[in-house]
Amino acid sequence: MNEFRNFPIKRKSANDGPKDVGVLVALSLIVRTLRLHGLHHALSGCPCVVGFILNNPADGEMFVRASRYALRNRSRMKLDVRTECLNFDGEGSAQRPRDAELAARLVLNDHVFGFATDIDGIPLQFRLVADGIVHLSSVDLDTLKASLRAVGIRPLPEDVLKKVVGEPLSLLSAVIKPGRSTPHIVQSLRAFQKEDSPERQQKPLPKKPSLADLNGFGEAAIWGQELAKDLIEYQAGRLSWADVDRGVLVSGPTGTGKTTFAQALAESCKVPIHIHSLARWQAKGYLNDLLKAMRGAFREAVLDAPCILFIDELDSFGDRETLDGKNETYNREVINALLECLDGVDGREGVVVVGATNMPDEIDKAILRPGRLGKHIRIPLPDAAARLGILQHHLGRGVVIANLADIASRLEGASGAVIEQLVRDARRNARSESRPLNVTDLERTLPPRIVQTEEAYHLSCVHEAGHVVVGHFLGKEAGRRFIEAEVFREVTRDGTGGWTIFHQIPSVSQGKAAYLAQITILLAGIAAEEVVYGERSGGAGGDDDCDLRHATLIATTMEMSLGLGNSLVYLSSARIPANMLSQLANDLFLRRQVSGVLDACLQKAKDLIAEHTDLLDPVVQILQDRGHITASDI
């Protein structure tokens, strides 16, 4: 059967309903789910697009049949109702229409229901225009009993019915038929429970991974596992909602698995997840439609509590401090509405909001205050151990590959998404040759190896050692604590030869000396190069995340915004780096002031390193031998 079928709806009599038990059960679940999630308009004849997540993949076609009855024309004003019922997991799913064809179907029909076994099975276009994507309610004993009565089946033994609740609806329809004697139905159901029929051997749904199954999430995984414990206590009535973390922001580079983290969090907590984004809400139409969709999403989550409400690309809301231009009023209203939803006029008890972003600095600070998304957890690029775990997870427990640790070590700087794609490409190579996957398939898909020469590797070690040494002496003054440094023998795709990580020390006052110390630490890498080699490389510059850019912005902020330079005049917000760099490029006097600060900090870094070569040399040696160094080594 083709998964996309148009069902012309004709006017029917009031008693012309389904006579099939499975269809009637499915219809009851559709109606219950729509009412539960505030989508009543879909039942009253109003235009709608609704996606349903199935509990059992075998029930897709049964729910498509039931949706014909749910979408019957109930409006006397409109004689022709255009209806589309889509089973995205049906037999025709491999021949899914192009995006343009799906868009046309969505436009041409008044009522569209779609069914899939998970959110990813529903096409993006459908999700963007949908009134809602909801999980179907589960079959229960009362629903099954009511359906039996509705089709004229006499009451069946409760012990028999309990054992068939949750079985494929099509199987129930085949066994429980009007006109068949009750003893025969009971006999068939009992026999059916003992036999492994083809439908009972249906491939089970793949287990959704929990946080315990995944690697590379670090602090985020620890927080998630604690949340799961708290939610169990909350549901048992032993913990107040006030004591549960109700919001968190997760940030990290593209591909580190922020959405995967949210889905695994929901699985670990054994609660449903509602996935949203500003782009999805904007697709509903004008500002009023967007705000209605946003508030509806939070209302739906409250009805489904306890649950996770995930908001992707949170930075797309913007920051009210940086808004300007003709869209300022529009964006301000959107942010204010989000704040209202996060606060919850009627409360949002049981709803944990998880926001995700690649750019946490571009999020309005009011969104991140305690009580909203007050906790911020960074998901880093996976280390060697995490990369090995991610590889094994995507390969599957039954696949054993020799030298897998070597493959993981050659993926320095790769995100979880990159590793997943590598395994997918390796499987394709093996399939094309009709053989099992082996290590050669993985090696073929590895990115090109750019191995540093011994001279270049030593230079990288000296550079990172400079940050470590100066950070050791100025860290307290700068309000920064050294964590670790790492150097790569194979450079990452952006050419990065290594990095040094400092964490900010909480509650440290930020005076002029602190900012100058921060600049000095940032310039310590090239300072060490000048002390050891007599010249510096371009390793401190080159992109928007480089040492030179950060040092320049701090020095410019001191002059233009903080009153810590040669003038108290306020010229620009520190929250708008682009404006600062633009003014710096056009103001020769300002550029001279900033350049003087940078030169002085570079000289101070060189003096410190020259004075403490007894510390620099062993740090360089440890990096040379091991590739990394931690605070405990210092």
Asked if pLDDT for residue 182 goes beyond 80, the answer is no
Judge contact between 487 and 623, C-beta under 8 A.
yes
- The pLDDT of residue 13 is 40
Judge contact between 503 and 525, C-beta under 8 A.
no
Tell which of 378, 413, 433 closes a domain: 378
Q: CATH no. for residue 279?
A: 3.40.50.300
pLDDT level of residue 449 (50, 70, 90 thresholds): low
pLDDT level of residue 493 (50, 70, 90 thresholds): low
Q: How far, in Å, CA of 335 to CA of 366, rounded?
A: 9
Same domain for 296 and 177: no
Asked if pLDDT for residue 7 goes beyond 70, the answer is no
Q: How far, in Å, CA of 193 to CA of 263, rounded?
A: 34
- The pLDDT of residue 12 is 39
Q: CATH no. for residue 582?
A: 1.20.58.760
- The pLDDT of residue 354 is 93
Asked if pLDDT for residue 390 goes beyond 80, the answer is yes
Same domain for 115 and 25: yes
Q: What is the 3-state secondary structure (H, E, C) of 235-260?
A: HCCCCCHHHCCCEEEEECCCCCCHHH
pLDDT level of residue 207 (50, 70, 90 thresholds): low
Segment (H or E) for 115: strand 111-116
pLDDT level of residue 138 (50, 70, 90 thresholds): confident
Which tens digits make up the pLDDT trace of 26-85?
888 888 888 777 777 777 777 888 888 888 878 888 888 888 788 775 544 444 557 788
The dihedral sign for the CA sequence 129, 132, 134, 136: negative
pLDDT level of residue 603 (50, 70, 90 thresholds): very high
351 forms bridges with which residues in the sheet? 307
Residue among 105, 111, 28, 114 nearest 72 (CA): 111
> Which residues contact residue 379 at a Cβ distance below 8 angstroms, ignoring those fewer than 6 apart?
216, 217, 218, 220, 250, 251, 252, 256, 257, 258, 261
Q: How far, in Å, CA of 130 to CA of 50, rounded?
A: 5
Which tens digits make up the pLDDT trace of 284-322?
778 888 898 898 889 888 888 889 999 988 988 988 877
Q: Mapping DSSP to helix (H, G, I), strand (E, B) and coil, where does residue 233 land? A: helix
pLDDT level of residue 10 (50, 70, 90 thresholds): very low
> Where would I find the beta strands (DSSP E) of 7-73?
48-53
Same domain for 159 and 67: yes
Q: Which two tokens stand for residue 148?
A: 């039996």
Q: What percent of the chain has pLDDT over 70?
A: 87
Same domain for 409 and 333: no
Same domain for 247 and 348: yes
Determine the average pLDDT of the residues in 582-604. Answer: 91
Same domain for 460 and 571: yes
Same domain for 284 and 416: no
- The pLDDT of residue 200 is 44
Same domain for 109 and 33: yes
Same domain for 270 and 254: yes
- The pLDDT of residue 533 is 92
629 forms bridges with which residues in the sheet? 485
Structure letter (DSSP) for residue 175: H
Same domain for 576 and 466: yes
Judge contact between 188 and 167, C-beta under 8 A.
no
Determine the average pLDDT of the residues in 492-520. Answer: 77
Tell which of 153, 180, 206 closes a domain: 206
- How many domains, the chain? 4
Beta strands 4-6 and 83-87 are antiparallel
Which tens digits make up the pLDDT trace of 214-260?
877 888 889 999 999 999 998 888 888 888 888 899 988 777 888 88
> Residue 152 — left, alpha, or beta (φ > 0 → left; ψ -120 to 50 → alpha)?
left
Residue at token pair 């002085």: 600
> Which residues contact residue 227 at a Cβ distance below 8 angstroms, ignoring those fewer than 6 apart?
244, 245, 265, 269, 352
Which tens digits make up the pLDDT trace of 348-361?
888 999 999 888 87
Residue among 466, 412, 419 nearest 627 (CA): 412
pLDDT level of residue 338 (50, 70, 90 thresholds): very high
Question: Cβ-count burial of 370 within 10 angstroms (0-12 exposed, 13-18 middle, 19+ buried)?
Answer: exposed
Same domain for 406 and 440: yes
pLDDT level of residue 4 (50, 70, 90 thresholds): very low
Across the chain, mean pLDDT equals 80
Give the CB-side neighbour count of residue 623, counting CA atoms within 13 A.
33
Domain range for 68 is 1-206
Q: How far, in Å, CA of 218 to CA of 223, rounded?
A: 9
Q: CATH no. for residue 441?
A: 1.10.8.60
Same domain for 614 and 522: yes
